[in-house]
Structure 1
Amino acid sequence: MSSYMDFITEQLYALTAIPSPTGFTKKAADYLLAELTSLGYTPELSNKGNVSVTLGGSGSPLVLAAHVDTLGAMVRSIKENGRLRPTTLGGHQWSTADGENCTIHTRDGRVYTGVVLNTEPSAHVADQKVEALEENMEILLDENVSSKEDVLALGIQTGDIIAMDPRTVITKSGYIKSRFLDDKLSAAILLGLARAIRDENWKLNRKVSLLFTVYEEVGHGGCFIPSDTEEMLSVDMGCVGADLGCTERMVSICAKDSGGPYNYDLVTTLSNIAREQKLDYAIDIYPHYGSDVEASLRAGYDIRHGLIGPGVYASHNYERSHVNGVRCTFELLKTYITK
């Protein structure tokens, strides 16, 4: 596993370095297509931008899904003072981005840097603290602009993408810190799985495919899947927080989220494997969560469905996980598709 852990962390650094807020995912999809092709597979790109690939095997078709779209923002308008008013892409929490560096991507391919701040961020100026709500946030460009006309001259316009800096770090103690571990960490795990299958010629116990979606953060990433799919497992982040058993060092198996219960037999099978393999795991309930596999169910697919992932603390914030949670997720998936 150590060699694949190195590969997974390399993929995480590469994926988080690619800005891919929902709706702006072409470069992330192109990266996945290139990586999967270099591993000897034949990936496909859907009309909406999802990337899929069959890894091999025969029998009951299983899809393992992760998403590479992230939270972010879009230019809603340009203020008269040359600052940008943003609008949210996905379930963004502005309080977590106040003071964050960002990049602005124009439709003609130019990239500018900036910083996210509330309308009065200075403690030495403000009479009272400004609450970090969307209507109070703005983007200050790192350019000499002081008017709307100055900004328009740069080629920036309404609808341009605003991407937050990921700040990806892996500590000596194994902690993984970054924005967008949801869900680029699990996307990296699936790439590691694809490499291991190629390198070690795993004997798969069914037909196994990967699906990388690009609209999960707005709810319709997994609404179209291969027609022969019988079972689908979202490999996303596991929640860590109050009233939950999972930590960053575990693999989380979700029994129920905001969309209702996951397939009872599948949750049972996954938890039995985790226990038998002596993996650190928890079965948890996520009250404020939705996944790609639920989008598939809402689209009318008759499939068994499940959700697992490495524990991630501070979701939709500057997130934290751990290499042991990654290892446990990888080993659970490996056993599930080979035994």
Structure 2
Amino acid sequence: MSLSTTYMVDTFCKLANTPSPTGHTDKVMAWIESELNNLGIAHVRTNKGAVLATLPGKNNAKHRLLTAHVDTLGAMVKEIKANGRLKLTLIGGFTFNAVEGEYCTIETDSGRSYTGTILSTKASVHVYSREAGKMERTESNMEVRLDEKVKSKDDVLALGIRVGDFVSFDPRVSVTESGFIKSRHIDDKASVAILFGVLKHIRESGLTLPYTTHFLISNNEEIGYGGNSNIPEQVVEYLAVDMGAIGDGQTTDEYCVSICAKDSSGPYHYGLRKHLVQLAEEQGLYYQVDIYPYYNSDASAALKSGYDVVHGLIGPGVDASHSYERTHTESLENTGKLVLAYLQSDIMQA
């Protein structure tokens, strides 16, 4: 029995199409809990809203923890303008250039949703000529054009829209016949789908893990503290599963499992990194070791919080991170197989 790529891709599509900007993740966490129930895996909801699932292992003295995050980039309504358009404040580390022209959804406190489009304040070249292209894309120069008949601030207020309402971006999920997955929020919903693929395989194959293992689906990673709490005291190894960054000077591509040696927080545990590389080679997996210059993970957040754990980071290679992203099914497969091999291996010796 092998990992089901179809299940992982289908799971990703469901997750991607469920809005979950950081700070407003209840709907997607409810889906996570429902799927864990379907798989018969015990879990709890933390006070911060994350979900911690546990598989008992043969050794209950030392535990492992794997994490992936389901929260995404997004925005909130910063201001309702006099002309009936909305100013935004961004959630997460990305630029307005990455979402210009994107469809979005504004959800009010009452649960009503309204659609719109993110545009510059001088979008029309027939009116603003060269300014349309040269103007810097900043909070003050971008706005949401609502798909409602509004001409004033009062018209918008009458809809129930208020400052602080959450704004999510249309993911535009597409899976091509050649195996490419195109979507927003592949970071990090693809990794969550990979962990669920591994969990499904473990359940259906009747596999018992050598160590009790926890799976933390975090919901605050994009703002820096998703996986820095609720770590059981028996945990000695902590592996974050998050996207591998692609770009000039990187080894990672859209087909590999990327093994991180260092990010902006510093080096990851050298022994665990070598262990992951050895497992990848033994399994005949396509992998790359890489350094991510502008990146932090839940694993590094855990260390900054003072946890005494061995920490590592792997993930599928994702192109155009924090924009309209792309990866390939081969990357999901390679990452899932490395996760599964790791879970069946021995814990690092101090």
Fold in common (TM above 0.5): yes
Which residue identity lines up with residue 56 of structure 2 in the other structure?
G
Q: 1:205 aligns with which of 192, 204, 210?
A: 210
Measure the CA separation in 1 of the matches of 2:161 and 2:103: 17
Would the aligned equivalents of 1:202 and 1:338 in 2 still touch at CA under 8 Å? no
Query: Any residues of structure 2 matched to 1:129-148 within 5 Å, and which?
Result: 129=133, 130-148=135-153
Identity %: 48
**2:183: which partner in 1?**
178
Query: Any residues of structure 2 matched to 1:14-53 within 5 Å, and which?
Result: 14-53=14-53
Residue-pair matches, total: 339
> SS at the partner of 1:194?
helix
* Shift in Å, 1:58: 3.4
* Shift in Å, 1:131: 2.1
Measure the CA separation in 2 of the matches of 1:58 and 1:216: 31
* Shift in Å, 1:337: 1.0
With normalisation by structure 1, the TM-score equals 0.98
> SS at the partner of 1:77?
strand
**2:259: which partner in 1?**
253
Unaligned stretches of 5+ in structure 2?
A: 346-350
Which residue identity lines up with residue 144 of structure 1 in the other structure?
K
Which residue identity lines up with residue 88 of structure 2 in the other structure?
P
Q: 1:265 aligns with which of 271, 277, 283?
A: 271
**2:76: which partner in 1?**
74
Which residue identity lines up with residue 222 of structure 1 in the other structure?
G
* Shift in Å, 1:43: 1.4
> SS at the partner of 2:280?
helix
Matched, 1:283 2:292: no
> SS at the partner of 1:207?
strand
* Shift in Å, 1:92: 2.3
Task: After superposition, give the CA deviation of every residue in 1:50-93 in whole Å (9 maximum; x if it has no partner).
Answer: 10100231332111100000000000010000000000101122
Which residue identity lines up with residue 43 of structure 1 in the other structure?
H
Query: Any residues of structure 2 matched to 1:1-339 within 5 Å, and which?
Result: 4-59=4-59, 60-127=62-129, 128=131, 129=133, 130-224=135-229, 225-339=231-345
> SS at the partner of 2:161?
coil
Would the aligned equivalents of 1:186 and 1:237 in 2 still touch at CA under 8 Å? yes
Moved over 3 A (4+): none
CA gap of 1:3–1:331, structure 2 versus 1, over 3 A, is closer
Unaligned stretches of 5+ in structure 1?
A: none
Task: After superposition, give the CA deviation of every residue in 1:118-160 in whole Å (9 maximum; x if it has no partner).
Answer: 1011122213222222221101110000100000000000000
Measure the CA separation in 2 of the matches of 1:203 and 1:39: 15
Would the aligned equivalents of 1:166 and 1:180 in 2 still touch at CA under 8 Å? yes
Measure the CA separation in 1 of the matches of 2:95 and 2:189: 18
Task: After superposition, give the CA deviation of every residue in 1:216-250 in whole Å (9 maximum; x if it has no partner).
Answer: 00001011022221111000001111111111000
Would the aligned equivalents of 1:72 and 1:92 in 2 still touch at CA under 8 Å? no
Would the aligned equivalents of 2:3 and 2:333 in 1 still touch at CA under 8 Å? no
> SS at the partner of 1:230?
strand
Measure the CA separation in 1 of the matches of 2:296 and 2:121: 32
Q: Which moved more, 1:263-272 or 1:88-97?
A: 88-97
Which residue identity lines up with residue 288 of structure 2 in the other structure?
A
Measure the CA separation in 2 of the matches of 1:290 and 1:226: 22
Measure the CA separation in 2 of the matches of 1:338 and 1:222: 23
Task: After superposition, give the CA deviation of every residue in 1:269-300 in whole Å (9 maximum; x if it has no partner).
Answer: 00111112111110000010000011111111
Q: Which moved more, 1:138-147 or 1:194-203?
A: 194-203
Which residue identity lines up with residue 276 of structure 2 in the other structure?
L
Measure the CA separation in 2 of the matches of 1:261 and 1:47: 30
